[in-house]
């Protein structure tokens, strides 16, 4: 029955699986304790591993029977050697997963990199998400069977995915209680505004979603898959096609040398070729997915170090006149970057600068629109009487909003596009609060004593199945 789990009586785990990072921690704390990559490495299972772990999957062994006797499943499981922490098996696809930071950063011959999420940040592979969630519990030194779980979901999460999330929690992790919380509502909640327009610039996508009295306005959900990763891809395009040979065709991610390929390096002058010795043994035994993942990590570092948003709409002459910034790549090559560091963030505000051929923006049927226009489209779905409160309560969250100049540019464009409205942008100055706003909102919510009546107990799930999630988690 609901009501048996109170915020003061239990230690709930809050899990926020984003497209870049999975955040996990204890309800009531002010920041997540575990932040692990939303990616995993994998190798084909060996014949021996198939024989030992061929039945591993989302559903776990139910454990001892109700009378305390040990079942035959227990005997069989105890005969298996224990699976090391950070390792899991996907027997259906014949994969041995390597989880956590070491799983994706440590080079292994033939290692592939994959993620449970699609380009819109929607979970497609719940088996892998289950393994990654279990790894977060291990990092917290927590036992899923003893701790209720609050799991976050995107505002446009499909109905089928919501049901699978409940299955993951109750049948995979075997938690005693569960709640599925809307990320947009949690971000508004963490900012202390039950009515707000939440602008979230994540790794895989941007979204502008109205929240009215603590509920998402469904018809106002506007999203696009051009988040922070699109800015990183714009940097790669600029480095290879604009600053380099303009006649180059193709993607050329190989032009960036990740750290795992560098054996040694020597200092070199700005703009000159790198003086690095590469690990020849790794060049031809590294998979494209592993190299691309690490290339994106370098580009993310590049983005955070040099990128800045112009305070007014894109002007190439103005960007070229701005001061440059130095950056050194892992192979020792370095240069001063000017216009590129301002143009790349335009993937958010002026996506029309990048053609489909550039592969900066994921392909889609409808054309991309700038972030400001996306916000205006969302506000048009709100009742006329409530639009003023939307414009005066714009909450900006997500790692992409941390780009210098982002808030100034957004404020300027909105004031020009809606001169009759009073524009008020609220964004936490604290890095942790802005980047982890969803997790923080979940931490606050799950720690409230009044929240206990919202938990879905395991008994309720067994009685009603996945349908209970659609009734209780709105």
Concatenating the DSSP letter of every residue in 52-93 gives HHTT-SSSPP--S-TTSPPPHHHHHHHTSPPPPTTEEEETTT
Per-residue pLDDT averaged across 107-114, rounded?
Answer: 98
Mean pLDDT of the chain: 90
* Cβ–Cβ < 8 Å for 79, 70: no
The percentage of residues in the chain with a pLDDT greater than 70, rounded to a whole number, is 90
Check residue 358 and give its pLDDT: 83
Buried b / exposed e over 433-462, threshold 16 CB at 10 Å, is bbbbbbbbbbbbbbbeeebbebbbbbebbe
Domains of the chain: 40-53+84-114 (no CATH), 197-226+367-433 (3.30.420.40), 228-354 (3.90.640.10)
Report which of 34, 54, 33, 36 is spatially closest to residue 45, judged by C-alpha positions.
54
Question: Looking at the predicted structure, is the pLDDT value of residue 9 above 60?
Answer: no
Report which of 405, 420, 453, 345 is spatially closest to residue 6, judged by C-alpha positions.
453
Check residue 377 and give its pLDDT: 97
The percentage of residues in the chain with a pLDDT greater than 90, rounded to a whole number, is 81
Per-residue pLDDT averaged across 197-206, rounded?
Answer: 97
Question: Looking at the predicted structure, is the pLDDT value of residue 266 above 50?
Answer: yes
* Cβ–Cβ < 8 Å for 7, 147: no
Q: pLDDT band for 431, please (50, 70, 90 cuts).
A: confident
Q: What are phi and psi of 326, to 5 degrees?
A: -85, 150
Check residue 84 and give its pLDDT: 86
C-alpha to C-alpha distances, 410 to 346, 350, 372, nearest whole angstrom? 12, 12, 7
Specify the higher pLDDT residue, 324 or 365.
324
* Cβ–Cβ < 8 Å for 349, 227: no
Check residue 255 and give its pLDDT: 80
Q: pLDDT digit string (tens) for 292-328?
A: 999 999 999 999 999 999 999 999 999 999 999 999 9
* Cβ–Cβ < 8 Å for 293, 287: no
Buried b / exposed e over 155-180, threshold 16 CB at 10 Å, is bbbeeebbbbbbbbbbbbbbbbbbbb
Q: 116: which 2 tokens?
A: 């449970």
Q: 382: which 2 tokens?
A: 């709100």
Per-residue pLDDT averaged across 426-443, rounded?
Answer: 91
Concatenating the DSSP letter of every residue in 178-212 gives EEEEEHHHHHHHHTT-SSEEEEEE-SS-EEEEEEE
Specify the higher pLDDT residue, 391 or 76.
391
**Quick one: CA torsion of 278, 282, 285, 290, rounded to 10 degrees?**
-90
**d(C-alpha 28, C-alpha 90), whole Å:** 34
Per-residue pLDDT averaged across 161-179, rounded?
Answer: 97
Specify the higher pLDDT residue, 29 or 82.
29
Check residue 64 and give its pLDDT: 38
Question: Looking at the predicted structure, is the pLDDT value of residue 254 above 90?
Answer: no
**d(C-alpha 164, C-alpha 170), whole Å:** 10
Q: pLDDT digit string (tens) for 29-71?
A: 999 999 999 999 999 999 999 988 876 555 444 443 444 444 4
Q: 56: which 2 tokens?
A: 């591993």
Q: How far is CA 20 from the centre of its chain?
A: 3
Question: Looking at the predicted structure, is the pLDDT value of residue 245 above 80?
Answer: no
Q: What are phi and psi of 141, to 5 degrees?
A: 55, 40
Buried b / exposed e over 386-415, threshold 16 CB at 10 Å, is ebebbbbbbbbbbbbbbbebbbebbbbbbe
Q: Which residues contact 460 (CB under 8 A, 6 or more apart)?
A: 1, 2, 468
Specify the higher pLDDT residue, 85 or 201.
201
Check residue 3 and give its pLDDT: 43
Q: pLDDT band for 10, please (50, 70, 90 cuts).
A: low
C-alpha to C-alpha distances, 240 to 14, 122, 233, nearest whole angstrom? 41, 31, 11
219 CB-contact burial (10 Å; exposed 0-12 / middle 13-18 / buried 19+): exposed
Specify the higher pLDDT residue, 64 or 8.
8
Question: Looking at the predicted structure, is the pLDDT value of residue 75 above 90?
Answer: no
Q: pLDDT band for 244, please (50, 70, 90 cuts).
A: low
Sheet holding 40-44, edge to edge: 87-90, 95-98, 40-44, 112-114
Q: 243: which 2 tokens?
A: 């600053």
Q: What are phi and psi of 217, to 5 degrees?
A: -85, 100
Lowest mean pLDDT: which of 183-197, 251-265, 289-303, 377-391?
A: 251-265
Q: 57: which 2 tokens?
A: 């999957």
Please, what is the Cα angle at 278 between 272 and 284, to 5 degrees? 125
């Amino acid at each position: 029955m609901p009501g048996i789990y109170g915020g003061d009586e239990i230690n709930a785990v809050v899990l926020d699986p984003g497209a870049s990072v999975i955040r996990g921690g204890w309800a009531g704390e002010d920041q997540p304790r575990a932040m692990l990559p939303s990616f995993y490495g994998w190798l084909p299972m060996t014949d021996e591993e198939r024989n030992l772990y061929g039945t591993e999957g989302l559903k776990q062994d139910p454990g001892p029977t109700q009378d305390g006797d040990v079942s035959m499943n227990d005997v069989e499981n105890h005969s298996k050697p224990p699976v090391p922490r950070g390792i899991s098996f996907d027997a259906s696809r014949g994969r041995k997963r390597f989880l956590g930071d070491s799983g994706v950063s440590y080079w292994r011959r033939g290692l592939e990199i994959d993620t449970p999420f699609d380009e819109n940040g929607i979970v497609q592979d719940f088996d892998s998400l289950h393994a990654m969630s279990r790894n977060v519990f291990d990092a917290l030194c927590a036992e899923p069977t003893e701790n209720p779980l609050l799991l976050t979901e995107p505002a446009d999460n499909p109905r089928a995915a919501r049901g699978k999330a409940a299955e993951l929690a109750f049948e995979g992790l075997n938690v005693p209680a569960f709640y599925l919380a809307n990320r947009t509502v949690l971000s508004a909640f963490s900012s202390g505004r039950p009515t707000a327009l939440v602008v979230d610039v994540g790794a895989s996508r941007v979204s502008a979603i109205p929240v009215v009295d603590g509920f998402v306005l469904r018809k106002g959900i506007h999203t696009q898959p051009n988040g922070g990763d699109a800015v990183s891809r714009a940097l790669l395009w600029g480095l290879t096609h604009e600053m380099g040979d303009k006649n180059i065709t193709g993607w050329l991610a190989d032009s960036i040398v990740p750290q795992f390929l560098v054996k040694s390096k020597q200092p070199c002058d700005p703009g000159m070729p790198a003086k690095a010795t590469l690990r020849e043994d790794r060049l031809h035994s590294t998979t494209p997915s592993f190299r691309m993942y690490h290339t994106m990590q370098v580009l993310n570092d590049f983005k955070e170090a040099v990128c800045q948003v112009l305070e007014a709409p894109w002007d190439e002459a103005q960007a070229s006149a701005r001061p440059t910034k130095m950056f050194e790549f892992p192979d020792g090559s370095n240069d001063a970057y000017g216009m590129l560091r301002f143009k790349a963030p335009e993937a958010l505000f002026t996506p029309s600068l990048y053609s489909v051929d550039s592969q900066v923006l994921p392909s889609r049927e409808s054309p991309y629109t700038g972030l400001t226009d996306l916000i205006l489209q969302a506000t048009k779905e709100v009742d006329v009487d409530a639009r003023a409160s939307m414009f005066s309560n714009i909450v900006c969250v997500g790692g992409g909003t941390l780009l210098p100049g982002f808030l100034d540019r957004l404020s300027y464009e909105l004031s020009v596009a809606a001169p009759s409205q009073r524009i008020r942008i609220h964004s936490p100055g604290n890095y942790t609060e802005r980047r982890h706003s969803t997790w923080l909102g979940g931490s606050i919510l799950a720690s409230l004593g009044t929240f206990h009546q919202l938990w879905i107990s395991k008994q309720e799930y067994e009685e009603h199945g996945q349908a209970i999630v659609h009734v209780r988690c709105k």
